């Protein structure tokens, strides 16, 4: 199952994904996809180091959908995280 690694950035809590060049970016579409267990283990090692380097917290892997080309979240929870906003109009957007 194609997977990516996600976490929250330590300094501000923003949702990030492990991307190319070991960067942690908020954009899921730019995430590095692991195609198999070995790939995923490599990414997990990088994530472990990033946590030790105070870049991120709470890293975990999640399966993604690649049918659109770039990785897309599967669960509602991950769709909400990837969108960096609630699914409703925020109260500041209503008036």
Partner 1 sequence: MMYSYDEFDRDFLRDRNREFRTQVERRLAGQLSEDEFKPLRLMNGLYLQLHAYMLRVAIPYGVLSARQLRQLGMISRRWDKGFGHWTTRQNIQFNWIKLVDVPDILEALAEVDMHAIQTSGNCIRNVTADPLAGAASDEIEDPRIWAEVLRQWSTNHPEFTFLPRKFKIAITGALEDRAAIAFHDIGIRIVGGPNATIGFRIYVGGGQGRTPYVAQEMKEFLPPTQLLSYLEAMLRVYNLHGRRDNIYKARIKILINAIGVDAYRNQVEEEWQSIRGEGIDLPADEVARIRAHFAPPELRANPVDNAELLKARDQDSGFDRWVRHNVLPHKNPDYAIVSVAFKEPGRPPGDATAEEMLRVADAADRYSRGEVRVTYTQNLILPNVARADLVDLYEDLKSAGLVAGNTDLITDIIACPGLDYCNLANARSLPIAQDITARFADPERAEAVGELRLNISGCINACGHHHSGHIGILGVDKKGTEHYQITLGGSPSDDAAIGDIVGPSFPAEDVPDAIETIVDTYLAQRRDGETFLATYGRVGADPFKEALYGTPR
Contact footprint for partner 1 (CB under 8 A): 8, 10-15, 51-54, 57-58, 75-77, 80-81, 84-88, 90-92, 94-95
Our CB check for partner 1 shows the closer of 69 and 88 to be 88
Q: Which is nearer to partner 1, 46 or 80 (CB)?
A: 80
| Gyration radius (Cα) of the chain, Å | 14
Q: How far is the CB of 11 from partner 1 (least distance, A)?
A: 5
CA distances 26 to 56, 59, 92, 95, Å, are 12, 13, 22, 28
Q: Is 72 helix (H, G, I), strand (E, B) or coil?
A: strand
Q: Kindly tell me which of 39 and 51 has the beta carbon lying closer to partner 1.
A: 51
In whole angstroms, how close is the CB of 8 to partner 1 at the nearest point?
Answer: 6
> Rounded to a whole number, what is the largest CA-CA distance in the chain?
50
Token pair in block for residue 14: 């923003």
Q: Which residues contact 77 (CB under 8 A, 6 or more apart)?
A: none
Residue 74 CB, shortest distance to partner 1, in Å, is 9
Q: Which is nearer to partner 1, 21 or 91 (CB)?
A: 91
């Amino acid at each position: 199952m194609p997977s990516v690694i996600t976490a929250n950035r330590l300094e501000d809590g923003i949702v990030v994904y492990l991307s190319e060049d070991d960067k942690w970016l908020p954009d899921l579409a730019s995430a590095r996809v692991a195609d198999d267990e070995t790939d995923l283990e490599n990414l997990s090692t990088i994530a472990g180091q990033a946590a030790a380097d105070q870049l991120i917290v709470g890293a975990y892997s999640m399966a993604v959908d690649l049918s659109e080309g770039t990785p897309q979240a599967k669960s509602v929870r991950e769709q909400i995280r990837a969108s960096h906003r609630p699914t409703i109009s925020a109260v500041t957007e209503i008036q």
